[in-house]
Structure 1
Amino acid sequence: MSSTPPLPAHPFRVRHPGDGLGAPAPLDLIVEGSAFGSGTHPTTMSCLEVLAALAPLEGLRVLDLGSGTGILGLAALRLGAAGALCVDVNPEAVASSLRSGEANGLADRLSHRAGTASDLAGEAFDLVVANIGGELLIDEAACVAPLARRGGRLLLSGVLSGYAADLQAAYAAQGCRVVERRFPGACCTILMTRG
C-alpha cells in the first residue's frame, strides 16, 4: 500500500521550467532540477519553512550565499524582500540562479555574483541565508557573520547536526545569538540575530 508524501510545512510550490503549469503563482518557485539543487533537500525545505515563518520580509535586502539555483533568494523575494543577491563560487550555479530569476519573473530584483563571503567584505544585508554543506560555515564565520547588519538575521543550514554546537559557538564569537534551531535529516538549520 502506498502512502501520500507529507505536504511541506511551507507555503511554496517548487516547480521546474516547462512543467506546463502556466505562469508562476504568487508563491511558486521555478528552479531547474540540477546538481545545484531541486528544492527538495531537507535543509532547503527547512530554510523555506523558516523564511515563511519570518514573513513578511517587506523591504529587506537579502543575501543568498552559496545560492545554487537561487531558490532561497527567490523565496525571500516572494515573501516581500526588496532585493536579493545570489552569490556562489561556481559560475555555473550563478548562471542557474540567473535563469531562475528570469523563469520566476523576478530578474529585476535578483542580482548575481560569482564569489565567496570574503568577496563581499564591507557589504551588509538585513538577512543572510546560507545553505552550504560541510564545515565551511563554521570555518568562515568571521567572514559570514558581518554580512548581516547589526540587528540583522542569519539563517544557516547544511552543517551536520553533530556540529551544531560548533556552528553556534563560531557565530556567538562574532556577536550572534541563536533564535531557533531545527534538525532536518542529518543536518541543522539555525536562525540567529547579529548583535
Structure 2
Amino acid sequence: MARLLLFNKPFGVLSQFTDRGSPTLRSTLSDFITVKGVYPAGRLDRDSEGLLLLCDDGRLQARISDPRFKLPKTYLVQVEGDPQELELERLRQGVRLKDGMTLPADVARIDEPDLWPRDPPIRQRKAILDSWLKIAIREGRNRQVRRMTAAVGLPTLRLVRWSIGDWSVAGIAPGQFEAFSVGEITSGTYGG
C-alpha cells in the first residue's frame, strides 16, 4: 500500500532532500522528514510555504504532479495593492506570460486568513496597501502564481499553497506532516 505524506513546508526550505551546488547550507526536506523512500510529488519554491505532497508510489506521484490530470492547486496569496475587479478578471481569463497564456484561474478576494506567522515576517509598509487572494490553478509552471499576479500589477508578498485536490494543509503546523496510506484516501482525490 502506498504512503502519502502531507507536509507543511516552511518558508526557506528547499523541496528536495539534499542541497547540491550551493556554497551555503540551506534547509531541505531531510531536516523535517525521516520517512524513507518518499519523494516530492511536484515542487514548491523555497520562498513559498504550505502543502507539499510526498509519496512512495510512482503512479500516484505522477497523478498528483502531472498537469494532464489537472488537480487544482489552491493558494492563499498576499499581494501588494488593492485588487480591483479588472485585475481579478484578467487572472480568471488567463494571463499571457513569457512562456505563453495560462489557463484560467479561479480567483476570489478574501479576508486575511488565520495562518501561522511567517519567519521572517513580511515587511509591512504603511503607505502601501496589501490584500489577500485565493487562487486555484490547474497547471504547474515555474513560479506561475507569482508571475500571474505580477503580470496584472499585484506583486506577491506571501504565497501559501493551501491544497492540492482534496488534500489540505489545514491543521498541520509548519515543519510537520501527516502520513496516510492510499487506502485511507478517497478515490475522488486519487482519481482511482
TM-score (norm. length: structure 2): 0.29
- Identify the structure with the greater helix proportion: 1
Query: What TM-score, normalized to structure 1?
Result: 0.28
